[in-house]
Structures are given as C-alpha cells and as structure tokens.
Structure 1
C-alpha cells in the first residue's frame, strides 16, 4: 500500500513535466519512450533508486544489473525491456537535456482463459466497494470495456454495447465480475479490473482471454 501511495505522489509531481503509465504482461517486451536529446539518463526511482542507462550524443551505455535485458534506442532513446520481469515494475525517470519524463511501469500476471467464439464468459473480480467507492472500470488492453457507476449503472465501451454487464447487487456485495456475451475474435486480449477511478485493483486483477473458433459453426461449414 505504501509503495502505490508513493507512486501516486511521484506521479503528481511529474505531471508538471510529463508522466505516463505503461502496462506490460510478464515475459513480454516493453518500450518506454523518451526523446532524442544530446544527453539522456534513464533512472529507476521507485521502489529502488538506480541508474539504468546513460547516453551522450547517441552513444548509450546500459548499467549493471540492467545490461542483460535492457537496451536503449540510440536515436530516440526509448528504453526496451526484453522481456519484462516482475521486479521491473515501478517508476522510471528519463532526463533528456534537462527535461524530466516520468513513466510508471506495471507488470501484470494475468490468468489465462480460453473462450469459444460466440460463447459467454464471466471474469471474476472482487473488491471492497464500501466506504464511498462509486465506480468500477474494466479495461480491454487499454480501452474501456465497461464502466459502472452507482448513479448511472453499466456504461459499455465501444463494440461492447449490449454484450457486457455487471450487476448492481454484485457491486453492493463486492462482486464486480464482468460478463461478456457473444464473444468475438476481437475480444481476445488483456482484461484488467479497477475500482475508485482506476486507482485500486480488484482481485483477481487481470485476465488474458484467448478466443477459439466456434466448433459447431466450423462443422456446419463443411
């Protein structure tokens, strides 16, 4: 809890100079953007403090112990993690000719779920919805699949109209599970569950949906 509060505090400070959030699935590649300056320094600032890389006139040196998996694009100075490990999460700072850019990197470990095309699926998620919590957000990759508020109910994301739901009774009891009906191939991907304006995670927090062909329809097309 202290860790995430500290991240939020640093994010507020960084908003004056530019701040962004990036999410990557464990063991996949991540790219953190910076700029094409003359002098660039990448540092990790939370939960540890360490210099990751230093660049001078497009010549970059990655420091130990980051050298094994980290690299820097010597033109635009983006920082690459290949692959991202769980301990790579945290706050990064790119100093580019004196301009500071803050990036919060979140490394998620999703639960895998396989769903048949045109079928239905429920993604279980639970959260403490007491004490003034008034909304739930389900993200599909980086887009909203559903936003639920206590005053307006369920607001589906683009492409999810009449296909996603979250019950009022469930919200009252702390059950903020997402149900998707008539699953499409485009529904495949990462889903994440948040409450309180996306500041708190639900539990479980993340799912990776894999959509397979409708076996019945495939048989009828022969």
Structure 2
C-alpha cells in the first residue's frame, strides 16, 4: 500500500504545482515541430525535465546560453541552441514539462499532442470539420472552435449560431442532444486554410477531453484544375478515319512516285530510239476525229512500235 500512497501523493503535489505555476497549455499536431515557450536567461543555468509519476526525466540542460539535449532525445531535438526545439512531435511526448532556471525559478508547460485530419478543398466548395462529444447530462457546455490559436466559433445553450463569425460557419442546431459539434464552412476561401481545434468547456470553463484537430488547405480553382489535368491527361480515342488517313496519304505518294518513274522510263526509251511513235499520224487522227469529212473513209491507224 505504501507505493500506492506515495504515487498518489506525488500526483497530488504535481497537480498543485501545475495549477499554481503553469504558464502555458499547448496543443501540438502529431509530427509537427515544437518550440518550448519557456526559456532561461543567458546568464543562468537550468534544466528541462519531463514530470512523471515515477520521477522526473532529464530532457536537456542549460549552460552558457545554450541547451544541450540528453542522449534519449538527440534524434528528435535540435542540439546546442538557445531555445528548446522538438524536430517532430511523437504522440507519447504529451505531458507536463518543468523548466527550472537558477535565477527566474521553475515554470511548467502542459503539452498535448493530437492527431489532425488533413483536408484539401477547392475554393468555393463546402467542407465539414468533424467533432463529436457526449453532451447528454452535462449542462452548461460550450463548444469552442479555434483556428491558429484564435476562436472562430463559440457556441453554448445561449447562442443560436457561431458567435462573432460570418454566416459561412455553422454548427448543427441540435448539437446538445446529438453530440455532433462538427463545424461546416460554406464557400471556403484561401484565408480559411489553417489548423482547427474543437474544444469542449464545462460549466466552470475548464477544457474537457482531448480536442479534435483538423488541418485545412484551400486551393484556388485554376490551380486545382491544372493539377488535375496534368495528373490525369485526357485519353483520346482515334476514329476510323484518323487511323486510315496516314495510309491514304502514303498510297497517294506511292502512286505519284510510280507515275514519275514510268514517265522517266518512257522518255529515256523514246530518246534512245527504242520507242518509235509517229506523232504526225497522231495529229492527223485527232484532226479528223474533230472535223470528219467523209463518214465512209477508213480510220487512220497509228503505229506504235517498241524496239527490243
């Protein structure tokens, strides 16, 4: 029983310390970098520890204006810097961190790591950021949608719509009975891009549960269409005429070449004397056919001989 009592006592002391001295409660999206918002002065010495029920765990030490990271965190934190920076947050990094400085004292940071749904929407479309919570039997609840640290929609039983926001943003009117706290954005604009968090506050104004997170990216219509056309080019199907047109052109070219070859061969044979053609008789035949004088006259025969 003694270890249990000791663990409960440490948890109670830790709770009191955080309530009395915590300066920041930060929510970070899984995989994002994170800079601890508390730091020591240049002339101080200090340490960063992660507070756990089984005892503190050393994360980094501060000497001569620089932080030196412990071996366990070197693969995920930038070393030898004047600030404490996580390169990428892991889900298990959530918890309470204690920054102790030799002159300014001790401060606490409560860190929460959440998974964010990533959404890509075209400008002018509608989008719904989902958020659900058990609301039955819990009076005085308030829904808070925060974008990049600033509230964009605050709603409780006294508000019929999103307080202080454009008409493009809305939450279901039956959210108290249905537990559906999803935020709908109509006709999204590029300035709507950002990180959205859905918080639930109880009647005392305290946050309840883990917030829902969404990372919204809005693309312009023209850019979106260009990406689609580049990624998926149109698959054109040629018609029968398009398929046969090249063959038709080739056939005509072949016929012209054959006629030219035949003409050249004929001229060569005629000039060499191998072809004997009586052009006078040919002219006389044409004249008689155009101006016949006697229908009983026998036709003139043109002799064409080939000397082989």
Contact 2:51 2:95 in 1 (8 A): yes
Give the strand-richer structure, 1 or 2. Answer: 1
1:128-170 deviation line (CA, Å, top 9, x unaligned): 112224210111121111000101233345xx42121112213
| Greater than 6 Å deviation, 4+ residue runs | 6-9, 216-219
Tell me the matched-pair count: 209
Greater Rg over alpha carbons, structure: 2
Matching residue of 1:31: 35
Give the helix-richer structure, 1 or 2. Answer: 2
1:16-45 deviation line (CA, Å, top 9, x unaligned): 445102222222211003121411110011
1:92 and 2:97 matched = yes
Matching residue of 2:109: 103
Contact 1:73 1:79 in 2 (8 A): no
- Aligned residue runs from structure 1 range 106-121, under 5 A: 106-121=112-127
1:199 and 2:207 matched = yes
Question: Comparing 61-70 with 11-20, which one deviates more in the overlay?
Answer: 11-20
Mapped to 2, the partners of 1:87 and 1:185 lie a distance apart of 33
Contact 2:66 2:80 in 1 (8 A): no
SS at match of 1:152: coil
Question: Comparing 117-126 with 208-217, which one deviates more in the overlay?
Answer: 208-217
Mapped to 1, the partners of 2:206 and 2:189 lie a distance apart of 25
In the alignment, which of 80, 86, 89 is matched to residue 85 of structure 2?
80
Q: Which segments of 5 or more consecutive residues in structure 2 lack a partner in the other structure? A: 1-9, 227-308
- Aligned residue runs from structure 1 range 117-136, under 5 A: 117-130=123-136, 131-136=138-143
Q: How much has 1:180 moved relative to structure 2?
A: 0.8
In the alignment, which of 149, 152, 158 is matched to residue 151 of structure 1?
158
Q: How much has 1:7 moved relative to structure 2?
A: 9.4
Q: Give RMSD over aligned pairs.
A: 2.9
Distance 1:47 1:136, change over 3 A: farther
Q: How much has 1:172 moved relative to structure 2?
A: 2.0
Distance 1:65 1:181, change over 3 A: same
Contact 2:76 2:86 in 1 (8 A): yes
Distance 1:166 1:207, change over 3 A: same
Q: Normalising by structure 1, what TM-score?
A: 0.81
Mapped to 1, the partners of 2:188 and 2:102 lie a distance apart of 48
SS at match of 2:71: coil
Whose RCO is larger (CA < 8 A, sep 6+)?
1
